[in-house]
Structure 1
Amino acid sequence: MKEASLITPDPATPEGAAVIDLYEQMNALEERTGEWPGADTVDILDQWFARFDFTGSVTRTRLVAGSVWVLRRQDRHAYEVTLWNDEDSALAALAGHVRSSWDNLLGEDCIPEHPPLNDREAVDLYYGADQERGDEHYSLYADDIGRLVGTLPAPDGFHFPDEEVCANVNSAVVFHPMTGPDDEGLPCIEIAGVLVFAYLDADMQAVRVSVHLDTTDELLVQPGQTVPLHVEVEDSTVFSGGATPARAAAGWRQWLRRLGHCMQRTRGD
């Protein structure tokens, strides 16, 4: 029969600290009495279980992981919801439907025989100013893509640098410019060993931003060799991995301090 692997409680998490505290209480009871008396054991377990909430949901924080354009279109035959990267793409898709249905308008006043080449004009002419014609209508709007993250501390007790350390590191940032048009390097910002390149890429025909984490300072590296990273463009989050909002993290630290005071009072009694 295969033996089950042992679990090592992590004292940096509330659950791990609670398990270790129970273990210490039961050891102390056995040292005093030479056994685990039923009444004393029940009292200890009763107080220990009271520290847990088995009914509430796990506290999670909503982060914005990006944004999309939502196109809703309805007619007598279909109700469609599609997601698009930008407004122009969504309008082009809607205009495709409009052009394929243009015969529905023929015979009405001020309607040309052929739809306009401009997507917006075609859509506006088909649906009208109120975005609705008969039993057909549409709505187009931008919306955020949310992701829920747990507010538990990072594994193995990892703690992101506090405000003072972050301020010191931020003030020591280094910019590595190109020395001239013939320089084979690229403009780069270096902060805590993280290299952020931002430059014009003629091949991609775009402003290109790339992040390199191979030389990241150890104070930012989580167990498993990962680095918490949160990337925004304008007001939209395009990537977020390992980031924990400070407010949520502070809540857990406060909870742990209160738990420690309760444990001390319990032992003092």
Structure 2
Amino acid sequence: MITLDSRTPTGKAVIELHQLLTELEARTGEWPGADVVGILEPWIAQFDFTTASAPANTVTAPRPPGQIWLLRRWDRHDDDVLLFADESTAVDLYYGPERSNQPDEGYSLYLATISGRGRPRIVPLDYRFPDAHACERANRDALFHPQTDANDLPCTKVDGVLVFTYLDQERSAVCVAIHLDNPSDRLVRPDGTVPLRIEVEDTVLLDDSGAEGAPRPALLDRLLNTAEAGQREVIRSAALAASLIWCCPACRWDSLETTCCCEGPGPCRKPQPPKERPSA
């Protein structure tokens, strides 16, 4: 079923035609041919069929491929390839500078390119998020994929967007990851992004939908995001001095003062150090 948008001239015209024909049927009990012609003639005259303007579109480029460390280690019993989230320093410490600490093991650490299914997209410049009917259909067609082996994770798929929710023993946390490599074309905005709103309980963590009432970034975030490199360091120093943020002593990540532990992207989670009391 096609849903008309009354905000567009075409949608408004079709809705008006439907109203005129409905009123005619209510008066006469049918659609008399002469009356219908009298309605259609001025209605059709509104349209210009001589110059069909091409829709205004833009082409968005695919996301560039990323890279990840892979560690291949082997011994007399195993030969495995593992994802590795750190640089080579930890591996060198484990095996030793001459690879002599583990004489029965060998390893190879290298960067691999992640080749996704990204592709160019033709996106209309007058982007509109899918209507209520399309959203309901996409939600009803959602899929759930449970974990089947050690190399995948459970996820849901809605209109091409993958959301992984899983328990991570190493981080001791419930992890949620959103993958936007292959969303439906109708979700992609002209700048190549997909509007997201993320909530935990009643707290909105992210909302870049631009919808009315969407929370704006905190003042400190807005200053840091718009500042140049030199200005950014001055703002950061002032925020540290004013106790708006604190710097993790382990990974050097800046977290908001209201957080009790490090919120860096890694598994740090070091508790916030106690504040020094001013000397009397």
Higher relative contact order (CA 8 A, sep 6+): 1
TM-score by length of 2: 0.31
Q: If the length of structure 1 is used for normalisation, what is the TM-score?
A: 0.32
Higher helix share: 1
